[in-house]
C-alpha cells in the first residue's frame, strides 16, 4: 500500500509543478488519508514538489504508534496544531486547501508562515476523480458486503408483513457488518408503500403490508470506501401499475449504464437515462440527478446531472440511479455502483435488477 500512496503523491507533485507551487499543505482528513493512508482524526501533510524526502507529515501524540505504522515512508513530526506546525516549515509558493481552511484558519497560517500562501482548492480531489486499482478493489468489497447483506435479509424472511421500516433498516445495517463492512455508508433508506415516493425518506415505524413497494437505498463502508445501491421490491403479487413503473425505471437505468463511456459528457449520461422517463410522460416525477461519484465520500465528483460539467474518464466510480416517484402512491429507484472502463463499465453491485417479489 505504501507504493500506492507514494504514486498518488507523485501525481500531485506533477500538478504542483504545473502550477509553479513549491508545496501543498493538505489539511482535509480524507485527502490526507488518500495521500498517506493515515486514518486518525488529526493530522496534515506538507507535500513538497521536490519529492518525499522533503515532504513532512504531522499528527499529535495520540497517534504516535498508529502513524508510525500507517505512514512509515515520510518524515513525521508530533505536534499540534498540525496545520500551524507545517506552515511554519513552508517556504516559497505554498498552496493550501482554501475550500477547507476557514477565514480564521488562514489568518493563523499567515501569521506563522514565511511562505507565499496560495489558494489551491481541489487539487487532491482532482486526483481522486479517477480511482486506482487499490481503490476499486475496496469498492468491490464494499459492494459485495451490501449485496450479501440484502440477500441474507431476504433469505431469512426479513421482509414480511408487520415489520417496520426502522426494524428492516437496523437489520440490513447489522447484516452488512456481518459481511465485512466497518459500518453503513450512510443512513439507510427503507421506505414502504407510499413512502417509497419520497426520494430520501427516513425510516419510520410504518409497517410493511402486502402489496407495498419496498425501496431500499443503502451501502457498506470497507477500508474507508463507500458502496451505494438501491433496489425496489414488492411484497406479494405486484399490481400492473407497479410492474409498469418498475419496467420504465429499469429501462432508464439500463440506458444510463450504457452511456458510461470515457469521453462522454456528464450531462449526456443523465440525458440518456432521463429521456426514457420523459418520453413515457413521467419527466416531472424524476426529481434528482442521475448519479454521483463514490469513493472516500458517499457523494463526490463527478456529478451525473443535467448541469454536470466535464466528461467521463476510465477509472471513475459512479452511481446510476434514476427514479420515478408518484406522490401518495409509490416510487421506484434502481441504483448501481459502477466503474467506467475503456470497453464496458464494470458493475460492482451485483444484486439482480429483475423485480423481486417477496
Q: Tell me the pLDDT tens digit for each residue of 117-131.
A: 999 999 999 999 999
Residue where a domain stops, chosen among 128, 151, 170: 128
Residues 318 and 237 in one domain: yes
Given a contact cutoff of 8 angstroms between Cβ atoms, the answer to whether 268 and 255 are in contact is no
Is residue 100 over pLDDT 80? Answer: yes
Residues 326 and 248 in one domain: yes
The answer to whether residue 104 is domain-embedded is yes
Q: What does the pLDDT look like over 345-354, one tens digit per residue?
A: 999 999 999 9
Residue where a domain stops, chosen among 69, 102, 128: 128
| pLDDT level of residue 219 (50, 70, 90 thresholds) | very high
* Cα dist from 281 to 205, 259, 285, 329, whole Å: 33, 22, 9, 17
The answer to whether residue 330 is domain-embedded is yes
How many domains is the chain partitioned into structurally?
Answer: 2
Residues 50 and 107 in one domain: yes
Residues 79 and 218 in one domain: no
Residues 259 and 147 in one domain: yes
Is residue 18 over pLDDT 90? Answer: yes
Residue where a domain stops, chosen among 128, 163, 182: 128
| pLDDT level of residue 341 (50, 70, 90 thresholds) | very high
CA quadruple 155, 291, 317, 195: dihedral, nearest 10: -20
Given a contact cutoff of 8 angstroms between Cβ atoms, the answer to whether 108 and 151 are in contact is no
| pLDDT level of residue 220 (50, 70, 90 thresholds) | very high
Residues 189 and 252 in one domain: yes
Residues 189 and 278 in one domain: yes
The answer to whether residue 123 is domain-embedded is yes
CATH (domain of 321): 3.90.230.10
Residues 113 and 151 in one domain: no
- Residue 154: predicted pLDDT: 98
The answer to whether residue 40 is domain-embedded is yes
- Residue 192: predicted pLDDT: 98
Number of DSSP helices (H) and strands (E) in the chain, helices first? 10, 19
Percent above pLDDT 90 for the chain: 99
Given a contact cutoff of 8 angstroms between Cβ atoms, the answer to whether 78 and 64 are in contact is yes
Residues 82 and 166 in one domain: no
The answer to whether residue 353 is domain-embedded is no
Is residue 1 over pLDDT 90? Answer: no
The answer to whether residue 357 is domain-embedded is no
The answer to whether residue 62 is domain-embedded is yes
- Residue 187: predicted pLDDT: 97
Mean predicted confidence (pLDDT) in 99-103: 96
Is residue 2 over pLDDT 90? Answer: no
Distance CA(151)–CA(282), nearest Å, equals 31
CATH (domain of 59): 3.40.350.10
* Residue 203 DSSP one-character state: P
Range of the domain at 150: 133-347
Mean predicted confidence (pLDDT) in 181-191: 98
Please tell me the pTM assigned to this model. Answer: 0.95
Nearest CA-CA partner of 332 in 212, 226, 208:
212
| Residue 9 Cα to chain centre, angstroms | 21
Distance CA(258)–CA(135), nearest Å, equals 23
Beta-carbon contacts of 144 under 8 Å, excluding residues fewer than 6 positions away, are: 179, 180, 350
The answer to whether residue 51 is domain-embedded is yes
Q: What does the pLDDT look like over 40-71, one tens digit per residue?
A: 999 999 999 999 999 999 999 999 999 999 99
- Residue 172: predicted pLDDT: 98
Q: What does the pLDDT look like over 69-86, one tens digit per residue?
A: 999 999 999 999 999 999
Amino acid at each position: 500500500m505504501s507504493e500506492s500512496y507514494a504514486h498518488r503523491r507523485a501525481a500531485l507533485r506533477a500538478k504542483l509543478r504545473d502550477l509553479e507551487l513549491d508545496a501543498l499543505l493538505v489539511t482535509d482528513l480524507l485527502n490526507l488519508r488518500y495521500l498517506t493512508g493515515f486514518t486518525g482524526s488529526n493530522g496534515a501533510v506538507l507535500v513538497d514538489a521536490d519529492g518525499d524526502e522533503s515532504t513532512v507529515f504531522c499528527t499529535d501524540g495520540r497517534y504516535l504508534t498508529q502513524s508510525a505504522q500507517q505512514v512509515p515512508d515520510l518524515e513525521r513530526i508530533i505536534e499540534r496544531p498540525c496545520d500551524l506546525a507545517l506552515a511554519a516549515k513552508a517556504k516559497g509558493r505554498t498552496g493550501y486547501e482554501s475550500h477547507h481552511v476557514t477565514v480564521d484558519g488562514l489568518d493563523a497560517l499567515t501569521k506563522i508562515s514565511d511562505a507565499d500562501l496560495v489558494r489551491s482548492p481541489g487539487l487532491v480531489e482532482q486526483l481522486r476523480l479517477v480511482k486506482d486499482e487499490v481503490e476499486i478493489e475496496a469498492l468491490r468489497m464494499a459492494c459485495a458486503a451490501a449485496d450479501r447483506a440484502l440477500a441474507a435479509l431476504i433469505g431469512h424472511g426479513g421482509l414480511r408483513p408487520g415489520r417496520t421500516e426502522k426494524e428492516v433498516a437496523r437489520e440490513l445495517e447489522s447484516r452488512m457488518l456481518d459481511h465485512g463492512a466497518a459500518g453503513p455508508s450512510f443512513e439507510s433508506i427503507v421506505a414502504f408503500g407510499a413512502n417509497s415516493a419520497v426520494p430520501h425518506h427516513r425510516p419510520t415505524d410504518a409497517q410493511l403490508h402486502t402489496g407495498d413497494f419496498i425501496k431500499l437505498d443503502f451501502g457498506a463502508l470497507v477500508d474507508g470506501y463507500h458502496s451505494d445501491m438501491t433496489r425496489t421490491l414488492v411484497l406479494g403479487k405486484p399490481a400492473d401499475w407497479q410492474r409498469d413503473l418498475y419496467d420504465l425505471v429499469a429501462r432508464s437505468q439500463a440506458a444510463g449504464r450504457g452511456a458510461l463511456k470515457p469521453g462522454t459528457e456528464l450531462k449526456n449520461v443523465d440525458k440518456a437515462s432521463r429521456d426514457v422517463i420523459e418520453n413515457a410522460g413521467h419527466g416531472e416525477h424524476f426529481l434528482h440527478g442521475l448519479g454521483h461519484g463514490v469513493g472516500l465520500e458517499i457523494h463526490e465528483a463527478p456529478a451525473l446531472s443535467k448541469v454536470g460539467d466535464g466528461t467521463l474518464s476510465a477509472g471513475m466510480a459512479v452511481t446510476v440511479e434514476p427514479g420515478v416517484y408518484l406522490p401518495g402512491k409509490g416510487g421506484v429507484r434502481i441504483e448501481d455502483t459502477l466503474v467506467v472502463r475503456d470497453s464496458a463499465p464494470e458493475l460492482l453491485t451485483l444484486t439482480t435488477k429483475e423485480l423481486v417479489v417477496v
